[in-house]
Structure 1
Amino acid sequence: MARGKKLFTTATPACAVCHTLKDAGAEGTIGPVLDELQPDAPRVARALRDGIGSMPSFKATMSDADIEALALYVSKASRGK
């Protein structure tokens, strides 16, 4: 969880720039509010690898382990777990 939270705020571009996620203190206004969307980890990982809408793909800049850590963090944090 700690690794995923750090990646949420430090990836390039940082997820926190576009997305709102209460646990991360993020208040982005471009992408969906993750606390409302509550995506599961596979959905987040797919979006990170492939990009979606205006969100870029991170597969060239993040390792599979980092993508999985970030996906797990977003999934758990958005559900308040």
Structure 2
Amino acid sequence: MASTLGLAAAQANEAERLALGKQLFLRGATPACAVCHTLADAGAQGAVGPSLDELRPDAQRVAKAVRNGIGVMPSYEQTLSPTQIEALALYVAHATGAKR
């Protein structure tokens, strides 16, 4: 019974993190990720950055890009908390079907 409760809590926590990540992708980051990137799950059709559906980056790669910036993409390290960055990375990896 305890392991079932633990699993349910972990799934609820992941669902909350995914919801936060999607919210950040759509409008929580400035500029919003959806402005530049295509991601079908978010209904985003950005044309500046790579299509995340095609790239399918894992969560570690997304977190690194968000923290440090890459190419013309700015760093979000000063504007998003580590928890927010991890939630955003988890969401993108999950939405594209990439490894987490």
* TM-score using structure 2 length: 0.78
Greater per-residue helix proportion: 2
Q: 1:61 aligns with which of 72, 75, 79?
A: 79
1:34 aligns to 2:52 (yes or no): yes
* TM-score using structure 1 length: 0.96
**What corresponds to 1:18 in structure 2?**
36
Q: 1:7 aligns with which of 5, 24, 43?
A: 24
Higher CA-based Rg: 2
Give 5+ residue unaligned stretches, structure 1.
none
d(CA) in 2 for partners of 1:6 and 1:20?
15
d(CA) in 1 for partners of 2:65 and 2:36?
14
RMSD: 0.9
**Identical-pair percentage:** 65
Q: State the 4+ residue runs in structure 1 displaced beyond 3 angstroms.
A: none
Q: 1:50 aligns with which of 59, 62, 68?
A: 68
d(CA) in 1 for partners of 2:97 and 2:48?
20
